[in-house]
């Protein structure tokens, strides 16, 4: 057993030393490729962390992050940058496909990569930091704004120095929010390559030398296979719902579903769907700069709707609910001028306000109709029905209705057996009736058979 143990230990040591010796590439050498599209938020940071860790564990020769972002949260951006700086695998940020951009936080991520590339018809820039407070873009003093800006400038210049890129342009991107096309970025030394597609990029970076945490690495990527490390379904779903417009739709639809459940107890499905939607909305809003006043206004609108259902006020509470909902929707997300991607799409607000109005009209109409509908069960259900006289009414006798004999009384002329009467009231166990003129030769009422 000792001998076998020593042999096994020897093999483990050889396996551990083989990569460091550089004598041979792993048999499954490949290039890992990830895609990050949309707002930079905690979900995006978690995805990059997982993808890079997987690339390192699987022995990838390089990790290409295909990037298309308008920007995002500073904390999440710094998480991604720190993870790239700590990577033992060369990281290539590729702003693609054509039409993509690396805006705001995307500039820092691009600068942190060992190599940077852009596809045709893409742009990069507008890295000015924006401070957000409860009421939207924070009104900072001149001193505080200078501190924030200078901190961002120092951060991106340190990245530029570490990667050998244009630090002056990086400072302009922060202070003046300048932008550059892919051709301008290449000429300015902001990026290293312009690549039409991924195969073109892998051909161009072949032979490049970069320095990672494990030392200098020479890339050999031209003939390597590509292994996709896309977002997992749950990651993609959570990243999608953190879009401000989608989060707003989840919040509104979930709230309306719960209002419907509370106004129609026992429906069950609206309550379940509404609860799930609301929980997802709260998760999504937790990653966004939410204005608490806007959230409270939307909640107050739903409370007003419930009160109007319980005690109709001829539309007064409804009008207040619609105004409250509209105001809350407009200020729900603190979207500063420099971050339009954080705004809720105005058509979505208009659509959900219309849906709220139509929905409430439908629910109120249903409630009013149920209150006004004549009961078809029990004694009240007999009023308006026709019955056949089985014992002459003078003024009291017996009538036959719904398979039963009832004592009845008429206040008019005596009615002989076989006459048709209409029930006009119920007094305890006695019916009040009045005569009905039967159609000559017509069949007896279907109700008296």
Using the 3D structure, point to which of 344, 372, 400 is the last residue of a domain. Answer: 372
Q: Give pLDDT, residue 141.
A: 65
* pLDDT at position 286 over 60: yes
Instruction: Identify whether residues 98 and 166 lie together within a single domain.
Output: yes
Using the 3D structure, point to which of 207, 235, 263 is the last residue of a domain. Answer: 235
**13 inside domain:** no
367: confidence class by pLDDT, cuts 50, 70, 90: low
Q: Give the SS3 label for residue 301.
A: helix
Per-residue pLDDT tens over the stretch 257-280: 988 888 777 778 888 999 999 999
Contact 254, 354 (CB under 8 A): no
| Nearest partner of 302 among 344, 257, 266, 271, judged by Cα | 257
**16 inside domain:** no
Q: Tell whether pTM > 0.85.
A: no
Q: Give pLDDT, residue 131.
A: 52
Per-residue pLDDT tens over the stretch 356-365: 888 777 766 6
- Provide the percentage of residues in the chain whose pLDDT is more than 70: 82
- Residue range 94-120: mean pLDDT, rounded: 96
State the residue range of the domain holding 98: 26-235
Q: Give pLDDT, residue 170.
A: 95
Domain at 430, CATH number: 2.40.50.140
Quickly list H helices, 90-243. Answer: 105-112, 142-163, 167-175, 182-188, 198-205, 233-241
**219 inside domain:** yes
Average pLDDT score over the chain: 84
| Nearest partner of 220 among 202, 235, 239, judged by Cα | 202
* Tokens coding 346: 């105005």
Instruction: Identify whether residues 48 and 121 lie together within a single domain.
Output: yes
Instruction: Identify whether residues 194 and 312 lie together within a single domain.
Output: no
| Residue showing tokens 């309550």 | 271
Q: Give pLDDT, residue 376.
A: 53
Instruction: Identify whether residues 256 and 213 lie together within a single domain.
Output: no
Contact 271, 258 (CB under 8 A): yes
Using the 3D structure, point to which of 235, 250, 268 is the last residue of a domain. Answer: 235
Instruction: Identify whether residues 348 and 392 lie together within a single domain.
Output: no
Paired strand residues for 434? 422
Instruction: Identify whether residues 412 and 306 lie together within a single domain.
Output: no
Instruction: Identify whether residues 167 and 223 lie together within a single domain.
Output: yes
Total domains in the fold of the chain: 3
* pLDDT at position 20 over 50: no
**18 inside domain:** no
Instruction: Identify whether residues 80 and 173 lie together within a single domain.
Output: yes
* pLDDT at position 22 over 50: no
**For the sheet containing 62-68, what is the strand order?**
193-194, 115-118, 91-95, 62-68, 31-37, 226-228
Q: Could you please report the per-residue DSSP string of 248-275?
A: HHHHHHHHHHHHHHHHSTT--HHHHHHH
Per-residue pLDDT tens over the stretch 121-156: 999 998 887 654 444 444 556 787 788 899 999 999
Q: Identify which has the larger pLDDT, 7 or 370.
A: 370
Instruction: Identify whether residues 320 and 434 lie together within a single domain.
Output: no
Q: Give pLDDT, residue 144.
A: 78
Per-residue pLDDT tens over the stretch 192-238: 999 999 999 999 999 999 999 999 999 999 989 999 999 999 999 99
Catalytic residues: 104, 147
Instruction: Identify whether residues 167 and 107 lie together within a single domain.
Output: yes
| Nearest partner of 264 among 299, 309, 304, judged by Cα | 309
Instruction: Identify whether residues 228 and 249 lie together within a single domain.
Output: no
446: confidence class by pLDDT, cuts 50, 70, 90: very low
């Amino acid at each position: 057993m000792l001998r076998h143990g020593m042999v096994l230990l020897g093999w483990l040591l050889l396996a551990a030393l083989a990569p460091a010796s550089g004598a041979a590439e792993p048999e499954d050498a490949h290039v890992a490729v990830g895609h990050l599209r949309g707002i930079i938020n905690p979900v995006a940071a978690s995805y990059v962390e997982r993808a890079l860790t997987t690339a390192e564990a699987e022995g990838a020769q390089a990790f290409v992050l295909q990037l298309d972002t308008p920007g995002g949260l500073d904390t999440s951006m710094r998480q991604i940058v720190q993870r790239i700086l700590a990577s033992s695998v060369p990281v290539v940020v590729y702003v693609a496909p054509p039409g993509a951009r690396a805006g705001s936080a995307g500039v820092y991520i691009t600068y942190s990569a060992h190599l940077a590339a852009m596809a045709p018809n893409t742009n990069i820039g507008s890295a000015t930091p924006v401070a957000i407070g409860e009421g939207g873009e924070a009104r900072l003093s001149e001193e505080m704004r200078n501190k924030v800006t200078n901190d961002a400038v120092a951060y991106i210049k340190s990245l530029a120095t570490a990667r050998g890129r244009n630090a002056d342009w990086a400072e302009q991107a922060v202070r003046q929010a300048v932008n550059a096309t892919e051709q301008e970025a290449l000429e300015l030394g902001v990026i290293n390559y312009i690549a039409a597609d991924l195969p073109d990029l892998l051909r161009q970076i072949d032979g490049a030398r970069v320095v990672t945490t494990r030392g200098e690495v020479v890339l050999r990527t031209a003939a390597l296979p590509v292994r996709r490390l896309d977002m997992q379904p749950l990651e993609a779903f959570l990243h999608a719902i953190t879009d401000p417009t989608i989060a707003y739709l989840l919040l509104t639809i979930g709230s309306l579903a719960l209002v419907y459940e509370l106004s129609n107890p026992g429906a069950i499905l609206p309550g379940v769907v509404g609860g799930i939607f609301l929980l997802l909305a709260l998760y999504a809003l937790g990653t966004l700069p939410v204005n608490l006043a806007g959230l409270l206004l939307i909640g107050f609108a739903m409370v007003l709707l419930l009160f109007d259902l319980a005690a109709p006020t001829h539309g007064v509470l409804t009008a207040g609910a619609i105004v409250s909902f509209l105001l809350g929707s407009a200020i729900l997300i603190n979207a500063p001028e420099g971050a339009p991607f954080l705004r809720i799409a105005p058509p979505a607000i208009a659509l959900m306000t219309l849906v709220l109005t139509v929905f409430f009209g439908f629910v109120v109409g249903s409630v009013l109709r149920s209150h006004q509908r004549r009961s078809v069960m029990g004694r009240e259900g007999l009023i308006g029905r026709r019955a056949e006289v089985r014992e002459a009414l003078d003024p009291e006798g017996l009538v036959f209705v719904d398979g039963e004999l009832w004592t009845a009384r008429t206040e008019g002329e005596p009615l002989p057996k076989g006459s048709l009467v209409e029930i006009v009231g119920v007094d305890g166990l006695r019916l009040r009736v009045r005569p009905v003129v039967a159609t000559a030769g017509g069949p007896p009422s279907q109700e008296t058979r």
